[in-house]
Structure 1
Amino acid sequence: MQDLNKMNSCFNKNFNLIVLGQIVSILGSSLLRFGLSTYILDTTGRADIFAALYAISSIPLLFSPIGGAIADRFNRKNLMVIFDFISSVIIFTFICLLSTLNNSIILIGVIMVLLSIISSMYQPTVQASIPLIANEKDLEQANGIVNGISSLSSMFAPVLGGLLYGLIGIKMLLIVSCIAFFLSAVMEMFIHIPFNKRKVNGSIVSTIVSDMKEGFSYVIKQSYISKAMILAASLNLFLTPFLLVGIQYILRITMHSSNNMYGIGIGIIEFSSVLGALSIGLFAKK
């Protein structure tokens, strides 16, 4: 009973390790995204190529429902370790190929797609793990902390990335990201997340498809959730591309911002997400 109470505490060892792993993993991912976007803009100077790569790398986010179904069927701790380790291996391979292949833009596109697929699987796994290690009364606070960590990492990564990009270059920035993913995988090995294996009816593929259908059916029936999804999709369709593509092009190409000022500019934009995450705890109860 004592162990169960400890597990249900919001700020126990398992929750702290997930938060720490999130900091390292998301910081590495954000540094990588900033470094690659800056490299593409500096190399090509063209917004259309940058936008095309961003669009292509965003397509795998449609795999998120599959990631949620997989998280419900497999050990979530093992999934997080595997995802971070694979990300580290992909970046290491990219570093090795970067100096041998002539057309690095195509290679960057492939790498961004692969990492985006993993990210679409990784985030649902983390989010689904929080209710298992946090007390129900602390669930809103725990989710707010996890989302806040994500936003804070995304905010500080451009500032840090701008400094590192100018000092050590793209290759060393890739090495830092590779190490970050590897360290995150190592830390996640020490997390204990309760796992009750659910019965599988038929093959694992048919079971996951059935779970996805059940999930979509539930979402459609819940008016609040479906409306929230439509609102989020609309914002991401019309507003996010301008922020992620248009403003970065204006800062880097039109205004010829330095590495530091470019990173600070992107970091200020990300700060709005931090304010939103921090305000959840204040407004949710009202």
Structure 2
Amino acid sequence: MLRQKPPRRGPGAALASLRNPRFALLWLSNLFFFGGVWNQTLVMGWLVYETTRSEFLVAAYTAIRLSPLLFGPIAGAIADRYDRSRLLILASTWAFAVTAAVAVLAAVGLLPYWAIVAGGFALGLAQSPAQPARASMVLELVGRENLSNANALNSMAMNVTQVVGPAAGGALIAAVGAPAALWISTSWFAFSLFLLLPLRGRGKVERTVTEPVFAMIASGFRAIGRNRLAVAVLLVTLAANILIWPIYQSFMPVFARESLGLDAAGLGILLTCCGAGGLTGSLIIAGLGDFRFKGALFVGGTAALGALWAAFSLTHTTTVAYVLMAVIGLASACFGVLQTTLLLMTTEPALHGRALGAQELAIGVMPLAALALGAAAHAVGVGITTLSAGLVLVAALVVLAARVPELLRYG
């Protein structure tokens, strides 16, 4: 029997999955979609803080904007049942329409706090429920051996937009105001939709599913619950989304204004540094190909993320903050790329949509965690809240690694 060639590694292998023209279209669509998401995240978050000057109301806005993540199990079952390309086309169309409506209201001066919250929730309905379909299509397009590379390239797309989107958003707020930045988000969603159209017919389920959606959800949870490795991956996702990601989503305008004395452009640079670090980390992981010990890098990188946020909470120096945000982005690539890769590798193909739906549900605790952390920050300050959250995450991952050591060896 012929031996299979080992996967190539290094700079030439980093872009391997982009040689697949269908995956390249999906990747470009993701690039524009998340460009719009990051742009509106900065602009609308800044508008909320400028309107309210309240850390708690910023956290409340974030909680409502991210609450559609709680629909993850339903979205996962739908992704296992219906044409995934059509689901993505629907999501991009909805995001375009919602962002255009918010931009119009901002342009005519009719965008109070409640309208920003409503717009954020509506955009969340486009972003979050589409994720299981988006990630499930990747495996179909590139195959298992290229999955880690393809997910790293998708993470690169998100980080490229995290570099460009916030910088453009912050500069535009400073130069011409928030409505212009929101119109850029609208155009990016339009490009994302256009690039998805040639993929119609891809992402179809392999068999006819007649089981009701809620019965599919229940059977999916039972099957995943029996999978020790998949549960461990989901627990890491849950811990990070309780303790760290709400801080990034909610409190960056507060850190920028109160701790570092930065304006909107400075906030954009902070987020850009994080995106540049994430882009670098994703490039490194993509170049590794189908490498061993993915689980160890996943757990170790997430623990490093907690420690770095604890360090960031203590700094009041702009230069140090920029450097730390870049390193935070580097560590976040280990978490962002490998959580989806490991979940897809440790579950059966028929469960992929529901496994990713369970991941969305784990991410969906973020709104509730944002409210809790917002209340804590209101009481003791964002610095102490962030320091405590980062240290608790490190401790939780040490316990998980001791209880499920096979995750560290998984590759």
Change in 2 beyond 3 A, CA 1:243/1:91: closer
Change in 2 beyond 3 A, CA 1:182/1:54: same
- For residue 176 of structure 1, report the CA deviation from its aligned partner: 1.2
Structure 1 length-normalised TM: 0.87
SS in 2 for 1:189: helix
Q: Which residue of 2 aligns with 1:137?
A: 145
Q: Which residue of 2 aligns with 1:172?
A: 180
Contact 1:80-1:125 within 8 A present in 2 as well = yes
Structure 2: segments with no counterpart, 5+ residues:
1-16, 293-411
Change in 2 beyond 3 A, CA 1:246/1:33: closer
Change in 2 beyond 3 A, CA 1:157/1:100: closer
SS in 1 for 2:262: coil
Q: Which residue of 2 aligns with 1:146?
A: 154
Matched, 1:260 2:269: no
- For residue 103 of structure 1, report the CA deviation from its aligned partner: 6.0
Matched, 1:37 2:37: no
Change in 2 beyond 3 A, CA 1:222/1:197: closer
Matched, 1:237 2:245: no
Alignment partner of 2:55 out of 47, 68, 76:
47
Change in 2 beyond 3 A, CA 1:172/1:127: same
Structure 1: segments with no counterpart, 5+ residues:
1-8
Give a deviation string over 1:201-233, Cα, whole Å, max 9, x none. 36xxxx211221122112211111111211221
| Aligned equivalents of 2:110, 2:157: Cα separation in 1 | 37
Contact 2:36-2:184 within 8 A present in 1 as well = yes
Q: Which residue of 2 aligns with 1:195?
A: 204
- For residue 86 of structure 1, report the CA deviation from its aligned partner: 1.0
- For residue 155 of structure 1, report the CA deviation from its aligned partner: 3.4
Matched, 1:210 2:215: yes
Percent of pairs identical after alignment? 21
| Aligned equivalents of 2:99, 2:184: Cα separation in 1 | 10
Matched, 1:56 2:61: no
Alignment partner of 1:224 out of 219, 226, 229:
229
| Aligned equivalents of 1:277, 1:69: Cα separation in 2 | 29
- For residue 195 of structure 1, report the CA deviation from its aligned partner: 2.0
Matching residue's letter, 1:228: V
Matched, 1:183 2:206: no
- For residue 99 of structure 1, report the CA deviation from its aligned partner: 5.6
Structure 2 length-normalised TM: 0.62
- For residue 150 of structure 1, report the CA deviation from its aligned partner: 1.6
Matching residue's letter, 2:145: K
Matched, 1:285 2:294: no
- For residue 28 of structure 1, report the CA deviation from its aligned partner: 0.8
| Aligned equivalents of 2:229, 2:281: Cα separation in 1 | 19
Give a deviation string over 1:242-282, Cα, whole Å, max 9, x none. 33333430212454313322111122234444354344343
Aligned pairs, number: 274
| Bigger shift: residues 135-144 or 21-30 | 135-144
Change in 2 beyond 3 A, CA 1:249/1:284: farther
Contact 1:18-1:188 within 8 A present in 2 as well = yes
Matched, 1:84 2:99: no
Q: Which residue of 2 aligns with 1:249?
A: 254
| Bigger shift: residues 248-257 or 28-37 | 248-257
| Aligned equivalents of 2:25, 2:269: Cα separation in 1 | 29
Alignment partner of 1:126 out of 134, 144, 162:
134
Matching residue's letter, 1:199: T
Query: Which structure exhibits the higher relative contact order, with contacts defined as CA atoms closer than 8 Å and separated by 6 or more residues?
Result: 1
Q: Which residue of 2 aligns with 1:94?
A: 102
Matching residue's letter, 2:204: F
SS in 2 for 1:146: helix
Matching residue's letter, 2:178: I
Matched, 1:158 2:158: no
Show structure 1 runs of 4+ deviating over 6 A: none
Change in 2 beyond 3 A, CA 1:21/1:197: same
